[in-house]
Structure 1
Amino acid sequence: MKIKITLFIVIAFSINLSAQEKKKDTINAKEELSEVVVTGQFEPQSIKKSVFNVRVISSKDIQNLAANNLGDVLNQYLNISVRPSGTSGRSTVSLFGLDAQYFKILVDNVPLVNEAGLGNNTDLSQINLNDVEQIEIVEGSMGVIYGANAVSGVLNIITKKSSRYKWSVSASVQEETVKDEFALFDKGRHIQSIRAAHTINDNWFVSIGANRNDFQGFLDDKKGKDYSENDQLRGYRWLPKEQLNGTALIAYHKGDFRVFYKFEYLDEDIDYYNATVQSGYNTELGSYRYANDKRYLSNRYFHNLNTSGKLFSQLNYNVSLSHQKQERNVEDFRYYLLTKNETSNVTVKDQSMEVLYSTGTLSNFFSSKKVDLQTGYEFVNNKGYSLVQEANNVMTPIRKTLENYDFFASAEIMATERFSVRPGLRFSAQSKFKDQYASSLNLRYLFDKGIELRGSYGTSFRTPTFEELYSKQIFDGHFFTGNENLIPETSTSYEASLKKTTMLDSGLQIANTFAGSFLDVNDRIDMALVRFNPDTGNPEYEYINISKYKMWNFSTMNQFKKGNFTFNIGAALIGVSRKIENQVFASDDRYLYSFNLNSSASYFAPKWGTTFSAYYKYNGKSQQFVEGSSEYIISDIDPSNWLDASVRKTFFKNKFEATVGARNICNVTNVNQSNTNQSAGHAGSSELNLAYGRSYFIKLTYNLNL
């Protein structure tokens, strides 16, 4: 009832303002329009006009880091933690301590599919950056605009759709060590990419690109795939992985009408070599040794058709229609170590997700610049597949379809030249769950002397994943199952930020931002102990809505820029309270704290055509509750330091570019995590595998612009 009354007041206020005479916005007239953002906006606009606090990662940052995938970039940013896995090959992201299920990744405002979900649980290593214009991050609840699972924030990858050149061709080769392991073909990381773009005329633009990322794995103390002793040293510490990415785009624009079609393809192979070597004998081979190995084969198709323009000479429309599919197959085979042959190859589909997705908006209902109203819809048809393990090691395929039909409305009101208000409401009709709602209220006030104040309130929801609903692993006394009776999690967030921009007579530009936020998540889903089987005495675990999660965060980001020199420094303090329960005992809800700091510096020397860059991040000690034998106890994760540096130089009128540098200069590999071994109730410690250590790279690029 309160939401309906608020929406009625907003609409009434909007209509009243639309009747007022237009006035020149003297504040906006002075805005610097060079940094334009699209995430969460009614239409592309300057970052100063946004009611959201948008963080931008530019294409220059991506170039300086010689980043090939999204994981290479995000590791350096505040409040964001990248968790790579050497055993699965995946890299996922966590924001404010909430994992990848709460953070939505978009490509041109369309959530990206993976075999486990839509927009969430995304493997960062599978997102190629070959044609990225910029990356935009908005922290906090974005449920009204982007729907389910945009609880902790969204990341939007904006791709290139035009060029100021008639022809543009870029080709690059990158060679990178994996710690101290490198050989031209057999060890290290080898990357090749090519992209060609053509502006056909004033209306048409096309581009096509391809990228190959060949990661030969990291041995460390392992002995590789041809090692024949059964001492658990066979295989790799980090699994070998090869990725092929392809992209194509065709775009047309004339006047206010724009349309583009974008296609992406991913093919990924991950090789798993079993550490257990077995022996056999037959009359043909005699004595032989073999291992039961496997490959994980993933592919993704991404189609997105987008059109925007005007209706009735005033209304702005923007519609996207997308078809996406990602599938993972597992190939099991026997590998003979003497002959190096494979036999008994069997491939089965392990997981897949196929999605039909469409979203659209209408805005600019009123002639007055004092007010705008946006209405929109979202339609999702999500067909999921998973191979689950029933009792007695019986593998059973599960196929389910989940749908939602969402409608949302948001108004942006310029109450004065300085003060703007943006309320919003979303209704989501779910095929599997009860109907869901999201609401938001965003405020922005521009003071004198370059001071900007923003505040926001938002509610959002997270729907259970396919795994949480339908997974099963039942074998040898282990019992872990999904739960079809789960309900969506709900969340409430509050945010405030203060930004001050200063221009000194010396030419020094200073931007200081101070921000605080609070997030409260209810009905959080966790895998919890539900009972001890009365017949076997074995524990049985199931996903249930049982936990609560609260987080507050204070952060500051500061930029100093003069001429060709830019320096950034930021810090954040996060407190997390998580109440975890099972059917036997529960944790307390005390706040556990963590601190992180980041800094970057870059300098462009025009005389040499050279850019020097360095990126540093400190992840402080963090804590979390883990399940012991009779209670939840605190597990400590030690701090870590990350430093990347590079030198990028252009030659021959920018036609050639060379970048040399180092990642993970502080040589982080594993960090200690206490209280992880709860066997027999005795707390122990283990190591959390974060990286494979320091690596060096060189990247050579040829650019042809005509």
Structure 2
Amino acid sequence: MKIKITLFAGLLFCTYSFAQQKDSIKSAEKLSEVVVTGQLEPQSIKKSVFNVRVISKEDIKQLAANNLADVLNQYLNITIRNSGSDGRSTVSMFGLDSQYFKILVDNIPLVSDTGMGTNVDLTQVNLDDVERIEIIEGSMGVTHGANAVTGILNIITKKGGNHKWDISATVQEETVGNEYSFSDKGRHIQSAKIGHNFNNNWFVNVGGNHNNFEGFYDNMKGKDHYATDGLRGYSWLPKEQWVGNAMLGYQKNSFKIFYKFDYYGENVDYYSPILVPQDNYPFPETYFTRDKRYITNRFYHHLNANGKVFSKLNYNVSISHQKQERDAELFDYQMETQKESNNNRFTYQSKEVFYSTGALSNFFNNKKVDFQLGYEITNENGFYSSAAGTFLDNQLQSKDVRKRLENYDIFTVAEISLTDKFSIRPGLRYSFQSAFENQYASSLGLRYLFKKGLEARASLGKSYRTPNFDELYTYFVDSNHNVQGNPNLVPENSTSYEVSFKRTCSFDSGAQIANNLAVTFLDVNDRIDMVLVELPGKYQYININKYKMWNISTTEQYAYKNWNVKVGAALVGISQKLDLAQLNISSDDKFLYSLQLNSSVSYNIPKWNTLLALYYKYNGQQQQFAAGTDENGKAKFYLNEIKPYSWMDASARKTFFNNKFEVTVGARNLFNITSVQITQGNGGASGGAHGSGSSELMLAYGRSYFLKLTYNLNFN
């Protein structure tokens, strides 16, 4: 690890030295790259006090990404957690899970099973109508409220088009590991979009997408495997998704308004490996299985208006209504006839959210001072059926859980340019909570522009995370499990510090070099963890963990003629302190370190209208203390380790017929990663009660290949 860090630090030092020795250096402001996330109004990325990372639609196209999980695998400080058992993919940043990272669509938090903008299944976020993705690392609690602790990701959707008619259709075929067929193996995607500008004021966009993931067999034999050998079913469950969206917009002068509707539907099928015999004497014995189907439906409405009031003040107001329902359908599957019977479908989880946010800015006729006053309203209605068997209300298992969580927030942000080079940005939010004590968030951002294009930024942020539905109300107790929620949980509080330096330089030769160095420290108090509170094996969510993290990351980008090269590195140190007074044990709070490296190389061949790209990411060893029992049955902490692994993707994209027809071919996961080993200390949390061991963490389904065909028909 030390060798890799030294080499990369040397590369960074040499790059800066080389850039500073050239008299022909010119600062490149990249004014065309405009960002909106966390800003008082849209502005160039250089003017932003925040260190904003942008994923362009070209990056998305080059990866042939259909959902958010396809994109984020290659980015520093971000780890994707996949689960073949339920088909979900979630994001982890700085070692903290998806409860601390907020995902938004046009600044509206996306509803999920247990959160609002958090714990989002990345495979359920379609990217067909995305213009770009903006990521800000660190605390964003002032502008984006609860749970924006490690950062936010804002998906900016396409609004309007460049032509009177924009029409496109896409077909994508992809292998799942080495498995593929047109009928029952692989991944099959179809999508279509139509955009129409009626005139200079009105526009409409309509689109749809169908994604059929046929599951990953691996060593399993599928749903019609007729044997009592335990091999019926799939290693990764089959999943079928439908997406529909529409947007209607109007703009005139400074006034803009749009209404956006999204529908998402998903079926996930579980096929039991256990065949149940039926006695048909005197005829031969027959078999059936008890299978399940999980059905998700999500409806998303968003109305946004922005413009000027009193010919001076800028306003931006959004109103959103979202509803997500998850149904379970239990049925018997007759193996001989391949027919379902005794189907029983019920809604076991739902969430309905009313959300609104808005802000006024531009209070002063002074370009050096700006001020924003805003509000946020969130009203969540959550439901979990007692038929799900994992939730409890008022200690009565026979009751359903119905809970309402509300918050009413006000926030204010000022942006002050003390000079043309030096800006400061203080902010404050106060949140009135229905289920917890009222919370607040604060921040202070600084930006200074040095000579020769060097930009320096610093920020301090205090934020909070509120407990989610699972942590408050989970109850899962049987002969093998005892996991209980805790309605007495309190919100977590966090403080983050970040310093970053950025420089973009251009040379007379046409070459460009961009450098970005950031150092971050995060301190989380009262962190919620599921911990062992009683022997044997009773776990409960408790505010018990102290969490500290520091991160140093750097990215370098080189562009010359048709070449574009990016390299990056991030070193993360994590310290956690768990003090289980009930069991009279404490964990070690020393810092545990993990290294990530990434790089990408692309080459454009104008003569052939072809772009070649290669992406690589190294995920270093990860360590974490976990509670378990020793050989005598006594509670003890052990150090678990996830072994390092690497990920590589490659693609080639070529256009034909004046860019009307586009072909993308490539491969994901070239190193054929399927799982990574977890080594556990003696009696570790998942290593058993009386022995050391190791297990496998499933990451992917191996190397896969894709072919994507897109036809664009644009005319005026």
Partner residue of 1:170?
168
Match among 494, 497, 506 for residue 503 of structure 1: 506
Match among 302, 307, 322 for residue 304 of structure 1: 302
Partner residue of 2:313?
315
AA aligned opposite 1:686: S
Q: How far did 1:441 drift?
A: 0.1
Q: How far did 1:147 drift?
A: 0.2
Q: Does the 8 Å CA contact 1:258/1:307 hold for their aligned counterparts?
A: yes
Within a 5 Å distance, the mapping from 1:264-279 to structure 2 comes to: 264-279=262-277
Whether 1:440 aligns to 2:443 is: yes
Q: How far did 1:350 drift?
A: 1.7
Within a 5 Å distance, the mapping from 1:321-360 to structure 2 comes to: 321-360=319-358
AA aligned opposite 1:692: Y
Within a 5 Å distance, the mapping from 1:64-213 to structure 2 comes to: 64-213=62-211
What secondary structure does 1:581 align onto? Answer: strand
Partner residue of 1:649?
654
Q: Does the 8 Å CA contact 1:186/1:216 hold for their aligned counterparts?
A: yes
Task: Tell me, in whole angstroms, the C-alpha distance in 2 between the residues paired with 1:76 and 1:704.
Answer: 31
Q: How far did 1:651 drift?
A: 0.4
What secondary structure does 2:413 align onto? Answer: strand
AA aligned opposite 1:324: Q
Q: How far did 1:483 drift?
A: 0.9
Partner residue of 1:6?
none
Match among 663, 667, 676 for residue 668 of structure 2: 663
AA aligned opposite 2:566: N
Partner residue of 1:688?
697
Partner residue of 1:25?
none
Q: Does the 8 Å CA contact 1:531/1:540 hold for their aligned counterparts?
A: yes
Q: How many residues align?
A: 674
Whether 1:262 aligns to 2:286 is: no
Q: How far did 1:347 drift?
A: 1.1
Partner residue of 1:608?
608
* Deviations, residues 119-148 of structure 1 (Å, cap 9, x unaligned): 000000000000000000000000000000
Whether 1:468 aligns to 2:477 is: no
- Residue range with higher mean Cα deviation, 689-698 or 669-678: 669-678
Q: Does the 8 Å CA contact 1:561/1:567 hold for their aligned counterparts?
A: yes
What secondary structure does 1:458 align onto? Answer: strand
Match among 631, 639, 643 for residue 636 of structure 2: 631
Q: How far did 1:681 drift?
A: 2.8
Relative to 1, partners in 2 of residues 1:394 and 1:223: Cα closer, same or farther, differing over 3 Å? farther
TM-score (normalizing by structure 2): 0.92
What secondary structure does 1:473 align onto? Answer: strand
The runs of 5 or more residues in structure 1 that have no matched partner are 1-28, 533-537
Match among 450, 455, 462 for residue 452 of structure 1: 455
What secondary structure does 1:101 align onto? Answer: helix
Relative to 1, partners in 2 of residues 1:218 and 1:285: Cα closer, same or farther, differing over 3 Å? farther
Q: How far did 1:446 drift?
A: 0.1
- Residue range with higher mean Cα deviation, 108-117 or 677-686: 677-686
AA aligned opposite 2:620: G
Whether 1:421 aligns to 2:415 is: no
AA aligned opposite 2:589: D
Within a 5 Å distance, the mapping from 1:242-257 to structure 2 comes to: 242-257=240-255
Q: How far did 1:284 drift?
A: 10
Whether 1:430 aligns to 2:439 is: no
Partner residue of 1:366?
364
Q: How far did 1:373 drift?
A: 0.3
Q: How far did 1:682 drift?
A: 1.1
AA aligned opposite 1:619: N
AA aligned opposite 2:673: V
What secondary structure does 2:69 align onto? Answer: helix
Partner residue of 1:24?
none
TM-score (normalizing by structure 1): 0.94
Relative to 1, partners in 2 of residues 1:48 and 1:224: Cα closer, same or farther, differing over 3 Å? same
Task: Tell me, in whole angstroms, the C-alpha distance in 2 between the residues paired with 1:231 and 1:124.
Answer: 34
Task: Tell me, in whole angstroms, the C-alpha distance in 1 between the residues paired with 2:586 and 2:328.
Answer: 38
Q: How far did 1:283 drift?
A: 6.3
Task: Tell me, in whole angstroms, the C-alpha distance in 2 between the residues paired with 1:68 and 1:393.
Answer: 43
* Deviations, residues 589-646 of structure 1 (Å, cap 9, x unaligned): 0111000011111122111111111111010111111222021111111111111011
* Deviations, residues 481-536 of structure 1 (Å, cap 9, x unaligned): 1111100000000000011111111111111011100000000111122334xxxx
Q: How far did 1:281 drift?
A: 1.7
Task: Tell me, in whole angstroms, the C-alpha distance in 2 between the residues paired with 1:636 and 1:31.
Answer: 43
What secondary structure does 1:444 align onto? Answer: strand
Percent identity of the aligned residues? 59
Q: Does the 8 Å CA contact 1:117/1:353 hold for their aligned counterparts?
A: no
Question: RMSD between aligned alpha carbons?
Answer: 1.6
Match among 378, 381, 384 for residue 380 of structure 1: 378
AA aligned opposite 1:406: D
* Deviations, residues 342-393 of structure 1 (Å, cap 9, x unaligned): 1111112121111000000000000100000001000000000113536999
Q: Does the 8 Å CA contact 2:447/2:456 hold for their aligned counterparts?
A: yes
Partner residue of 2:43?
45
Q: Does the 8 Å CA contact 1:170/1:196 hold for their aligned counterparts?
A: yes
What secondary structure does 1:682 align onto? Answer: coil
Task: Tell me, in whole angstroms, the C-alpha distance in 1 between the residues paired with 2:567 and 2:99.
Answer: 29
Task: Tell me, in whole angstroms, the C-alpha distance in 2 between the residues paired with 1:159 and 1:563.
Answer: 30
Task: Tell me, in whole angstroms, the C-alpha distance in 2 between the residues paired with 1:508 and 1:580.
Answer: 51
AA aligned opposite 2:349: Q
Q: Does the 8 Å CA contact 1:114/1:300 hold for their aligned counterparts?
A: no
Task: Tell me, in whole angstroms, the C-alpha distance in 2 between the residues paired with 1:564 and 1:143.
Answer: 41
AA aligned opposite 1:550: K
AA aligned opposite 1:452: E
Task: Tell me, in whole angstroms, the C-alpha distance in 2 between the residues paired with 1:603 and 1:161.
Answer: 30
Partner residue of 2:6?
none
What secondary structure does 1:89 align onto? Answer: coil
Partner residue of 1:701?
710
What secondary structure does 1:494 align onto? Answer: strand
Task: Tell me, in whole angstroms, the C-alpha distance in 2 between the residues paired with 1:100 and 1:487.
Answer: 18
Partner residue of 1:620?
620
What secondary structure does 2:142 align onto? Answer: helix
Q: How far did 1:255 drift?
A: 0.4
What secondary structure does 1:73 align onto? Answer: helix
What secondary structure does 2:59 align onto? Answer: helix
Q: How far did 1:280 drift?
A: 1.4
Q: Does the 8 Å CA contact 2:201/2:252 hold for their aligned counterparts?
A: yes
Task: Tell me, in whole angstroms, the C-alpha distance in 1 between the residues paired with 2:195 and 2:281.
Answer: 60
* Deviations, residues 180-230 of structure 1 (Å, cap 9, x unaligned): 100012100000000000011000110000001000001010011111222
Task: Tell me, in whole angstroms, the C-alpha distance in 2 between the residues paired with 1:424 and 1:563.
Answer: 42
Q: Does the 8 Å CA contact 2:531/2:627 hold for their aligned counterparts?
A: no
Task: Tell me, in whole angstroms, the C-alpha distance in 1 between the residues paired with 2:249 and 2:660.
Answer: 26
Relative to 1, partners in 2 of residues 1:520 and 1:607: Cα closer, same or farther, differing over 3 Å? same
Task: Tell me, in whole angstroms, the C-alpha distance in 1 between the residues paired with 2:663 and 2:504.
Answer: 34
Task: Tell me, in whole angstroms, the C-alpha distance in 2 between the residues paired with 1:427 and 1:460.
Answer: 11
Task: Tell me, in whole angstroms, the C-alpha distance in 1 between the residues paired with 2:227 and 2:576.
Answer: 46
* Deviations, residues 141-185 of structure 1 (Å, cap 9, x unaligned): 000000000000000000000211110001000000011100012
What secondary structure does 1:114 align onto? Answer: coil
Partner residue of 2:597?
597
Task: Tell me, in whole angstroms, the C-alpha distance in 2 between the residues paired with 1:342 and 1:331.
Answer: 11
Q: How far did 1:31 drift?
A: 3.9
Partner residue of 1:543?
541
Task: Tell me, in whole angstroms, the C-alpha distance in 2 between the residues paired with 1:443 and 1:681.
Answer: 54
Task: Tell me, in whole angstroms, the C-alpha distance in 2 between the residues paired with 1:696 and 1:539.
Answer: 44
